[in-house]
Structure 1
Amino acid sequence: MNEFDLVLPTAVDVREVGMRDGLQLEDPLPLAAKLQMLEALVATGVRRIEVTSFVSPRAVPALADADQLAAELHQFDGVHFSALVANPRGAVRAVDAGLTSLEYVVSASDSHSRANAGRPTAAAVAAVGEIAELAHGAGGSLEVIVATAWDCPFEGRTPIARTVDVTRAAVTAGADHLCLGDTIGTTTPVRVVRLLDAVRRASPGTPLGVHFHDTRGTGQANALAALQAGVTQLDASVGGLGGCPFAPGASGNIATEELVYWLADAEVATGIDLDALLAAASVTERAVGHELPSSLHRAGGRNAPRGVVMGSVV
């Protein structure tokens, strides 16, 4: 190591969220298309996949087939599947479908909580204990994802103390893991580190991950800042697909292939094959029927044809 080296972990645990967060804004896909996408993602070597959400089909019609998709997961070995739930009813559905690793979203801002879940933050936090009991009773775990952890589309900047209060209450109620979400893609590296430090001091020893959107082009920089601050669990979506249907202006997640690309250069292990990931992005693009936002997907990896960059002769 020399004075110019970055201090990074030796390995990072990437959770692929394209099947859930990536598809929730899309028109509903046939189950067969989702299974093709899932097969391509599993082939990349990714170890964790957020595969669907058990929410109201009226609110998120693209994921109305959660039970049917869950019934097909036995085909795929070596992957830890998880599902997002919005309330205890969704948690019961997920557990009954065989998914016991649950993620529950709590918005740090009341306005987003009402838009996303139809209730204020305090009421959402109050359900953590019941959902944790359901997960633990089935031999699983509960991760609480704090949406609008940095900023809210309705209220503006979220005070650090507000997010810390939500995370502390979630852990007290039984959450096993925490994840901080930049729901509308507005945060920046300095703010990332400040909030991570505050949450860690409030809930020492609780595993902590991050979920960034690249709406304003800072997503990968935020990921680097989080890693330098010691985080080793990151969410990313194939092709940069996704966004929140209940947060105006929230566009795609950070692209998994872009994250893996620079992590590989930094000699940080992910266990994910980049070429297979680019192939999975192509499968995903065909499934959704439109171009994906990922720059790396468009340009290709270093094995792209020489002399051609982004479709232009150089």
Structure 2
Amino acid sequence: MSQKKVEIVEVGPRDGFQNVPEFIPTDVKLKVIEGIVKSGIKSIQITSFVSPKAIPQMKDAKDVTAACLVRYPDLRLFALVPNLYGAKAAVESGLKELAYVISVSKTHNTKNVKRTHDESFEELDQIVQLYPEIKVTLDVATTFGCPFEGEMSLEEVMAFLQRGYDLGIRTFNLCDTVGLAHPELIKEVVGTVLKTYPDCEFQIHIHDTRNMGMINSFTAIQCGITKVQTAIGGLGGCPFAPGASGNTSTEDFVYMLNKMGYDTGVNFDTLLETATYLKGNVTSGIYSGHQIFIDKTKVSTQ
């Protein structure tokens, strides 16, 4: 019997780094990305093209992108963009794939990207029309709940997805932006969207606010999700979502899946070395990864 495959989509270089208060030198960012690549991860969100005034950590987006495209031409490298301006900058930098974010919560969308729903969807339509050769994933922020509006209804989520579908989007990323999800909610939402949109690809992105990142991500896999976004070191959070903590830790999740017999294609030991480097060179005491219980010959990340 063949192993079940799960693709790890690493978002640490964007979602993980964006909350680190001190600017991380570009060469350090590239060193972390190099370690992620060496571990076997082939899908990496390397940066975001946002205003440096809003997210100063991403001011070197063009430099990071230029270096990665030269070093890793065969990997799936992509960036987050919040608007048409960011999309243009990303495409001009050479990227062939973008993640465009809109929140199901209208309040969070206004605070996060400074746009109404209509304005965000209008710009998404412009991006799709302007760059038909670019793959656009719609990041569905606050799928499972919002710090301002509470839990999103299934009807709200489905209406949101239909609006993206009507614009030609066929890849969606269901984001638990502030960690409000639980396994039963994951089952309800994921089960419904996979049944309703069989021609679409759905990914999952879970924050670990209530220490439920692992179980929620795994529940999504059991429901049929095959691509899971995680962040090395468990770093991350949304600067515009009060209460949001880090993402599901890549090394924790890979360790679990590998031990359970899933085919992730990721070497845990190499990933652990990169997480250790991250702890010593990036996080400066704010490392949020979890204790990893491994063989006695290995060293824990915390």
Relative to the length of structure 1, the TM-score reads 0.90
| Gap change, CA 1:182 and 1:53, over 3 Å in 2 | same
User: 1-side partners of 2:121 and 2:50: how far apart?
Assistant: 17
Q: How far apart in 1 are the matches of 2:151 and 2:268?
A: 36
Question: What is the rounded CA distance, in whole Å, between the counterparts of 1:201 and 1:309 in structure 2?
Answer: 40
Deviation readout 1:60-92 (Å, 9 max, x if unpaired): 110111011111111235421011100111111
* Alignment counterpart, residue 94 of structure 1, candidates 90, 95, 104: 90
Counterpart Cα distance in 2 of 1:246 and 1:254? 19
Are positions 1:85 and 2:81 aligned together? yes
State how far apart, in whole Å, the 1-side matches of 2:165 and 2:249 are. Answer: 29
The one of 13, 32, 48 equivalent to 1:37 is 32
Structure 1 counterpart SS, 2:274? helix
Tell me which residue corresponds to 1:115.
Answer: 111
- Distance in 2 separating the partners of 1:79 and 1:284: 22
Alignment partner of 1:142: what SS? strand
Letter in 1 for 2:245: S
Residue 238 (str. 1) matches residue 232 (str. 2): yes
Q: Secondary structure at the match of 1:55?
A: coil
Aligned equivalent of 1:20, options 3, 14, 29: 14
CA deviations over 1:98-143 (Å, ceiling 9, x no partner): 012000011000110010011222321222221223442xx32000
- The percent of aligned pairs where both chains have the same amino acid is 34
Contact 1:135 1:142 in 2 (8 A): no
C-alpha separation in 1, matches of 2:58 and 2:131 = 21
Match of 1:194 in 2: 188
Partner of 1:5: none
SS at match of 1:157: coil
Q: d(CA) in 2 for partners of 1:173 and 1:112?
A: 22
Counterpart check, 1:61 vs 2:56: yes
Residues 101 and 135 in structure 1, CA contact (< 8 A), matched pair in contact too: no
Distance 2:265 2:177 in 1: 27
Question: Aligned in 2, Cα 1:239/1:310: closer, same or farther, shift over 3 Å?
Answer: closer
Change (3 A) 1:289 1:174: same
Matched length = 299
Q: Which amino acid aligns with 2:155?
A: A
Aligned equivalents of 2:152, 2:134: Cα separation in 1: 31
Question: 8 Å contact 2:110–2:116 — kept in the other structure?
Answer: yes
**Counterpart secondary structure, 1:187:** coil
Residue 295 of structure 2 aligns with which residue?
A: 302
CA-CA distance at 1:310 after TM superposition: 9.1
Pair 253,135 (structure 1): closer, same or farther in 2 beyond 3 Å: farther
Change beyond 3 A, Cα 1:300–1:31: farther
User: One-letter code of the match for 2:10?
Assistant: E
Q: Structure 1: how far apart are the matches of 2:73 and 2:301?
A: 36
Shift of 1:287: 2.1
Please tell me whether residue 171 in structure 1 is matched to residue 165 in structure 2: yes
* Residues 51 and 304 of structure 1, relative CA distance in 2, 3 Å threshold: same
**Residue matched to 1:4:** none
Partner of residue 135 from structure 2, selected from 128, 131, 141: 141
Matched letter for residue 289 of structure 2: S
Does residue 265 of structure 2 align to residue 271 of structure 1? yes
Q: Note closer, same or farther for the CA distance 1:48–1:177 as it changes in structure 2 (3 Å cut).
A: same
CA drift at 1:30: 1.1
Any stretches of 5+ residues in structure 2 without a counterpart? none
Alpha-carbon distance change, 295 to 124 in structure 1, aligned in 2, over 3 angstroms:
same
One of 141, 156, 164 as aligned partner of 1:162 = 156
Tell me the residue number matched to 1:260: 254
Change (3 A) 1:287 1:89: same
Structure 1 residue 205 displacement after superposition? 1.3
> How far, CA to CA, are the matches of 1:91 and 1:309 in structure 2?
39
In structure 1, list runs of 5 or more residues that go unmatched. 2-7
The one-letter code of the counterpart of 2:29 is K
Question: 1 CA distance for matches of 2:146 and 2:220?
Answer: 20
- Is the partner of 2:18 in helix, strand or coil? coil
Which shifted more, 8-17 or 166-175?
Answer: 8-17
